Structure 1
C-alpha cells in the first residue's frame, strides 16, 4: 500500500500577521497550501490597481464619487493607463468601465537576455443615480486618474412619497 504523506512547514509570520506556508513538493500538499493561502487572502485588499505579484485576487481600481451641484464626479486610479487602454459603457442605469495593461520588457547584455511580460485587466460596474443624464456623460484620463463626469438631468426629480403609518 502506497501512502502519500503531505507536510507543510510554518515559516515566520508575515507583516500582515498571516503565516507563510512552504508548500510541499507532493501534488496534494501543494493543493492544500494553495487552498490555505486562498482562505488567508480572503478579504485582504489589493495593494495597487495592478498588483502583478503572486496574488490570485483580481485587482480593482480605487474609486471615489463626489456629488457636485450639477454633476457627479467619479474618479478611479489607473496608474500607467492611457485613454486608449480604457473602455467605458453605459446601459440600463449601469456604468461599466474596463481596461487592461500589457507590458513587455527585454534586456540584452553580454552574457544573458532577460524578457518579462506582465498583464493585468479589470472591469468595474457602478449603478448610476436615477438623476444622471446618460447622454451627457464625459470621461478623461490624466496622469493615471480616470475622471468621469456624470451630468445630472434637471428634469429627473427624485420621486419621494411619504407613507402614512396607521395604527393597526
Structure 2
C-alpha cells in the first residue's frame, strides 16, 4: 500500500509542467507595467516587446485608461521544423484607473524600444480669483 505522504509528493511533480505553462501564459496576458507620478503628470509604462504600434489600441473612458493589443506570431517558413518555442503570442488587455486630477483629454502615448509610455497630464488647479468684498453701510 502507498503511504499518503508518498502520493502527496507525487502529485505536485505530475502537474508541475502545466503550472509553469499557466504562469507563463498569464504573464503574457498581463504585460509587465509600472505607474509613477510627477508634479505635472502620471506616467504608465508597459513592456510590449515585439508588438507593432498598429496592433495596440488605447482608450480613455470614465477615468480608466485601457490598453488592448495583440502580439502576432511570425509566419512560418516552408521547410522549417520547429522543436520548441518559448515565445508567447496572442491578445492582451490592461486597464488603469486614473486619479481624479488626471486630464483625460490630453493623454499621449509613445512606443519606443518595446516599451509603451502613456503620459496623462494632471489638471492644474486654477488659483483662486481675488474678489473685492463691498461693505454695506448699516
TM norm structure 1:
0.56
| 2:13 aligned residue (9, 12, 19) | 19
Q: Which has the greater radius of gyration?
A: 2
**Residue 121 of structure 2: aligned partner:** 151
The answer to whether the Cα contact below 8 Å between 1:107 and 1:114 also exists between their aligned partners in 2 is no
- Which structure is richer in relative contact order (CA contacts within 8 A, separation 6 or more)? 2
Is the Cα contact below 8 Å between 1:106 and 1:114 reproduced in 2? Answer: no
Cα-to-partner distance string for 1:107-156 (whole Å, 9 max, x where unaligned): 334xxx5489x741111111101100001100010111000001000128
**Counterpart for residue 50 of structure 2:** 80
Q: Deviations over 1:46-73 (max 9, x none)?
A: 48854xxxxxxxx211111111110011
Number of residue pairs the alignment of both structures matches: 112
- The answer (yes or no) to whether the contact 2:101–2:122 under 8 Å persists in 1 is yes
Partner of residue 109, structure 2: 139
Q: What secondary structure, in the 3-state scheme, does the structure 2 residue paired with 1:129 have? A: coil
Going by fraction, where is helix more abundant, 1 or 2?
2
Query: Over aligned residue pairs, what C-alpha RMSD do you find?
Result: 3.1
Secondary structure at the counterpart of residue 135 of structure 1: helix
Distance 1:68 1:45, change over 3 A: farther
1:91 Cα deviation (Å)?
0.5
Structure 1: 4+ residue segments shifted above 6 A: none
Q: Is 2:95 the counterpart of 1:94?
A: no
TM-score by length of 2: 0.67
**Residue 54 of structure 2: SS of its match in structure 1?**
helix
Q: Which structure: greater strand fraction? A: 1
Contact 1:83 1:140 in 2 (8 A): no
